[in-house]
Amino acid sequence: MSFNFPEGEVLLLDKPVEWTSFDVVNLLRSFLLKVYHLKKLKVGHAGTLDPMADGLLIICTGKMTKQIDSYQGMDKVYVGRMQMGATTPSFDVETEIDNQFDISGITREILENASKKFLGEIKQVPPIYSAIKVKGQRAYLYARNNNELKLKSRDVIIHEFKILNFEPPFVDFSVKCSKGTYIRALVRDFGESLSNGAFLTSLKRTQIGDYKLTSAWTIDAFKEEILRQTGFQNSISK
């Protein structure tokens, strides 16, 4: 396998937890510029993955960055875990629990029936702790500064929402959805639909369109392959 990054490549990367999508882009750009002695190189990602999530990230380089919109528009598949009976302001583990609920009456059958109500086109309000821009600033910056902010709902499509396992208070699930869907927001709404609470504890993106995580490089493996091909000996760390 050989690469021509200025001409254009589409790379499948497995983003680690606690990395932002831009961390991956910036690392790869710096790494490739140094290894290939380039003065500039276009590098972009086709769909943000939250820092607390891991999994498939499509990276485009060179002329292929013009195709980013087409990749962003593809359906996504996720597997995740939520904790029932509690909520957090960020809808995930980034912030502390702010409310708790009794889940003694919740069964797997109840969860499965509730998940069916979210199939099809639904309206969803994105998390305030998100990278959506409001008046030129990321929404999460307003949230972290305790500034009040109301985001507009958007139409998204949930193709599949399956309950995989229930070991109270944790629920393992999978979702296939359209562009623009926030799984954290889906989990929040799911908990509310049961007059209860829920927040996301882990999330992995396993597929974008027909592209699968099983075909993705880890960042370290990708760098090692480039170093092997080029004979460049000085690895570059994040």
Is 210 among the catalytic positions? no
Question: Scanning the structure block, which residue is given the tokens 């990321």?
Answer: 138
- Residue of 14, 50, 54, 92 marked active site: 50
* C-beta separation of 48 from 57 below 8 A: no
One-letter amino acid identity for 156? Answer: V
* C-beta separation of 207 from 76 below 8 A: yes
Catalytic residues: 50
